[in-house]
Amino acid sequence: MDSNKLQNILDALLLSADKPLSVENLFKFFDEEDLVNRQDIRNALENLQKCNADRGFELKQVASGYRYQTREEYKHWVSKHWDERPPRYSRALLETLALIVYRQPTTRAEIEDIRGVAVSSNIIKTLLEREWVRVVGHKEMPGRPAMYGSTRQFLDYFNLDSLDQVPSLSEIQDIEKLYPELDLKTPSDNKQENKEMAKLEALIFDVDGTLADTERDGHRVAFNQAFAEATLDWDWTVELYGELLSVTGGKERIRLYIEKFLQDFDAGGDVQEFAANLHKRKTHFYLELLKTGAIPLRPGVEALINEAREAGLRLAIATTTTPANVTYLLTATLGEESNDWFEVIAAGDIVPAKKPAPDIYTWAMEQMELSPDACMAFEDSLNGVKSSLAANLKTLITVNGYTKDDDFSGAAIVLDQMGTAEEGFKVLEGDAGEHSYVNMAMIDYLHNK
């Protein structure tokens, strides 16, 4: 076949295709009498690439084959064809995608271990729906979790021919410059987008003392069990533990106790390492307590979570406790599936500064791509409310035995509990309107005040 005719045929095939076509795909369009072989097609494609070198479009080879596409430098004008803005992706989604690409095959749990925070089910769902990742198998371990890997569609979207062309990890840090088409959201973008619309979109919960009264009969008991196992004659009484709650974080409380009450204590080395190891054993005992169901949710918590889900609100957690503590509490009280109800679980050392710093709330909102105006926080302590208010969040307080005398100035309302229809709350500070227990109608009332 004449080379010019072959090039014209390939032009027509590629322009009419709705996906990239490989040399093998293109070869199947020709009959034996056409006298066209695969090398003829490769040569013709190479000529077409040269012919279009100075045009506003290009013939691009990607993982799935060849396709015509407009050049990147003309995106500003081409994008005006469409009124709708392209989808915008969060950094959390891109971090998850990058880990799958670089560590494939990998499981969700392995990604969570690296990122230090639970991976939202919505992120995995989006990546699967975009066909950027796929399930490539199941790991041979209890539960046989799915293992994820990247797809040809992922390579096609990013104009890559193979995984060898994926940028290095150091380059990934400048993802916005490498792939501007992702249009990553930033906190300033979110503030601007939400400036005119203060619709409530998410509830962000603290855990210890807020979802469940875990401190006195949970964490305190587990600490004492860890002390006994380590043959330490320490006994954290109810009153003493209340004093130690002045700082957030279990490791921090151990160090505070040593500094305040045991100045001559010999940790046998680095005090921080000693506290970290002791805290690991404390976490073990605490998780065992949770498994027994000995620590229930506070009154009204489950009902509010269920109502919020039915109303389509997004849920998140912002806490200084460990991710494992959160997972076990949710599983023991609401069932294993409840871990997927929370889009973001910001827990433990995911940020360097714990409450009362606002970092944990700020980080959670960044992952959800929301501004403070679109969220409501739930806290129980002075350090907690300082953190949420510093993050510019309206905050509902439910006190407990340790925090009932704290100063909650600035909170939207302070209650003794969330309450139920049968047993309402007592308002300690603020205005609940006509409401007697916390439900979505009351949350909307507080949010719109």
Q: Which residues are catalytic?
A: 206, 208
DSSP character at residue 165: G
Contact criterion met (CB below 8 Å) for 329 and 339: no
The one-letter amino acid at 76: H
Measured CA to CA, the distance from residue 290 to residue 448 in angstroms comes to: 37
Beta bridge partners, 148, equal: 106, 135
Considering only CA atoms, which of 137, 95, 131 is closest in space to residue 112? 95
Measured CA to CA, the distance from residue 391 to residue 371 in angstroms comes to: 10
Cβ-based neighbour number of residue 61 at 10 Å: 18
Which two three-digit tokens encode residue 103?
């560590």
Which two three-digit tokens encode residue 28?
């199947």
Contact criterion met (CB below 8 Å) for 27 and 38: yes
- For the chain, give the number of residues: 449
Considering only CA atoms, which of 236, 332, 246, 234 is closest in space to residue 289? 332
